């Protein structure tokens, strides 16, 4: 049972060598005098060819009894074969079945029969066996890897903060209540307050990649009730400084994936276009004007509707920032401009299809912060643990949060956010 190679580690030049591969029985074809068993492992397909006249009878019997998607190990001799996947086939000397698959299968894995998303999510383990699905998650892996690499190089320290909390991060967004011994607690909607505490703590530049929970009842193609957020917070940087970090990060991730994810992009039939730096910057006021000129029903002071986002995105046509938002529609921790406090140093980073990120320079003065919390209709008492950190030496700081799923789905041109999460949580789905 000792595997010696993944499918992609075997080459035609290894002709006459003996190897052992393990995987799933992707296809079995009996053509009379010759039989093919196609084994699929994580990296691709291996053609196992049985010439009935020449093959050991026991091996032939075992292969004849294999049901599709059973787990098998095959030891055999590599034979150069131009017509086979990767230019080689295996002539087996031993075949073992390690995990038998029942039939019929809950869904097709070859990509020949399409299944709807719900069916696929119900049996996600099986859906993962499709080339398309597994490619998405290999790209998701590269995305997260490249983000860690980039932020590490920029001097950021990775932290992890609690997901079970006593108070809301900010008003507005609904929270999931949970039972915490004899108390009520909530699933955290954002690491915002904790990453800010680390600015007072002196870590200077932190990031977290972790789950955020939003109890919003939306049923859209860009919202999940549990999403993955990439969050940064950095001291002694202003809003413009962290916008530069953000656009550079997006550019880096695209380049990294274009370079390292070629196989998977090809499997998906996707060619990605690397966003050029710097991203366009529009003020909120300019953005509203574009939406209005395009005929959208929107007034200065409104949050952007999905329709307005689409309409502005169409006009701009590439990644862009919206800056200088009305303070009233941004969270209390966004820093108002000193000379025109009705506007704040908040920004959104947009893909033409949707919002990817929100960020801001933060309020770091404790008096102003308390005022802002109250002005947003929240009770400052609930924020004691947070406000305390501002009273004993808090540096100016800024940060943002990017949804990992939105970054990936827009990069790959995927329509539904559920495609890029292994086990999505939405209004109807809680299992698997
Ligand atoms: P939207 O207005 O599009 O619902 P938001 O402004 O409520 O997003 P933020 O609180 O600003 O979201 O969160 C920062 C980022 O986290 C968003 O730009 C998005 O990329 C991601 N995000 C937030 N909520 C969700 C969600 N429910 N599902 C997927 N991603 C999300
Ligand atoms: Mg936002």
Tens digit of each residue's pLDDT (9 = 90 or more) over 102-122: 999 999 998 888 899 999 999
Give residue 403 CA to ligand 1 midpoint distance, Å.
6
Q: Are 12 and 88 in contact (CB under 8 A)?
A: yes
Instruction: Judge whether 101 is annotated as a binding position.
Output: no
CA distances from 322 to 243, 333, 385 (A): 11, 18, 32
Q: CB under 8 Å to 343, separation ≥6 — which residues? A: 284, 324, 325, 326, 327, 336, 337
Which of 208, 229, 329, 352 has the most ligand 1 atoms within 8 A of CB, as the residue to mutate? 229
The dotted CATH code for 131-279+318-420 is 3.30.930.10
Share of the chain above pLDDT 90, in %: 94
DSSP, collapsed to helix, strand or coil, labels residue 411 as helix
CATH 3.40.50.1950 fits 7-99, yes or no: no
Domain boundaries, the chain: 7-99, 131-279+318-420
What distance in Å separates the CA atoms of residue 425 and residue 74, rounded to the nearest whole number?
A: 38
pLDDT exceeds 80 at position 408: yes
pTM of the predicted protein model:
0.96
Give residue 432 CA to ligand 2 midpoint distance, Å.
28
Instruction: Judge whether 29 is annotated as a binding position.
Output: no
DSSP, collapsed to helix, strand or coil, labels residue 413 as coil
Q: CB under 8 Å to 20, separation ≥6 — which residues? A: 1, 2, 3, 4, 5, 73, 74, 75
What distance in Å separates the CA atoms of residue 192 and residue 402, rounded to the nearest whole number?
A: 12
Q: What is the mean pLDDT of residues 86-104?
A: 96
Q: What is the mean pLDDT of residues 74-93?
A: 95
Q: Is the CB of 25 under 6 A from ligand 1?
A: no
Q: Is the CB of 344 under 6 A from ligand 1?
A: no
Instruction: Please provide the distance, in angstroms rounded to a whole number, between the alpha carbons at the two ends of the chain.
Output: 31
Nearest CA to ligand 1 atom 7: 173
Q: Indicate which atom in ligand 1 lies nearest the CA of residue 407.
A: 20
Q: Is the CB of 188 under 6 A from ligand 1?
A: no
Instruction: Judge whether 226 is annotated as a binding position.
Output: no
Q: What is the pLDDT of residue 1?
A: 61
Enclosing H/E stretch for 232: strand 226-235
């Amino acid at each position: 049972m000792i595997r010696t190679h993944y499918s992609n580690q075997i080459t035609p030049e290894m002709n006459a060598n003996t190897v052992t591969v393990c995987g799933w029985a992707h296809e079995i074809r009996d053509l009379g005098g010759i039989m093919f068993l196609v084994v699929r492992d994580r990296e691709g397909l291996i053609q196992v060819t049985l010439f009935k006249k020449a093959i050991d009878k026991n091996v032939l019997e075992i292969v004849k009894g294999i049901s599709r998607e059973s787990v098998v190990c095959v030891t055999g001799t590599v034979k150069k074969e131009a017509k086979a996947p990767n230019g080689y086939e295996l002539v087996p000397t031993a075949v073992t079945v390690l995990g038998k698959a029942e039939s019929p299968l809950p869904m097709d894995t070859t990509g020949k029969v399409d299944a709807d998303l719900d069916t696929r999510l119900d049996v996600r383990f099986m859906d993962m066996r499709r080339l398309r699905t597994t490619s998405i998650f290999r790209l998701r892996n590269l995305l997260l890897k490249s983000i860690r690499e980039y932020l590490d190089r920029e001097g950021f320290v990775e932290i992890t903060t609690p997901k079970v909390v006593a108070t809301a991060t900010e008003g507005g967004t609904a929270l999931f209540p949970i039972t915490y011994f004899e108390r009520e607690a909530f699933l955290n909607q954002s690491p915002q307050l904790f990453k800010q505490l680390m600015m007072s703590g002196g870590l200077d530049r932190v990031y977290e990649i972790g789950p955020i929970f939003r109890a919003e009842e939306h049923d859209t193609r860009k919202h999940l009730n549990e999403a993955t957020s990439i969050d940064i917070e950095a001291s002694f940087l202003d809003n413009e400084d962290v916008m530069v970090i953000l656009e550079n990060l997006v550019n880096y991730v695209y380049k990294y994936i274009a370079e390292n994810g070629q196989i998977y992009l090809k499997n998906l039939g996707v060619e990605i276009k690397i966003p050029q730096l710097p991203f366009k910057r529009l003020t909120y006021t300019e953005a509203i004007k574009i939406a209005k000129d395009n005929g959208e029903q929107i007034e200065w002071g409104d949050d952007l509707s999905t329709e307005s986002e689409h309409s502005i995105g169409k006009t701009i046509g590439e990644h862009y920032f919206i800056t200088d938002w009305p303070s009233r529609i941004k969270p209390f921790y966004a820093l108002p401009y000193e000379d025109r406090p009705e506007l704040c140093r908040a920004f959104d980073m947009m893909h033409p299809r949707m919002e990817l990120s929100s960020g801001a320079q933060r309020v770091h003065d404790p008096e102003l912060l308390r005022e802002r919390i109250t002005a947003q209709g929240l009770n400052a008492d609930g924020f004691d643990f947070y406000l305390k950190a501002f009273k004993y030496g808090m540096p100016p700081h800024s940060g943002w949060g990017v949804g990992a799923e939105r970054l990936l789905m827009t990069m790959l041109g995927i329509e539904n956010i559920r495609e890029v999460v292994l086990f999505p949580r939405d209004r109807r789905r809680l299992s698997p």
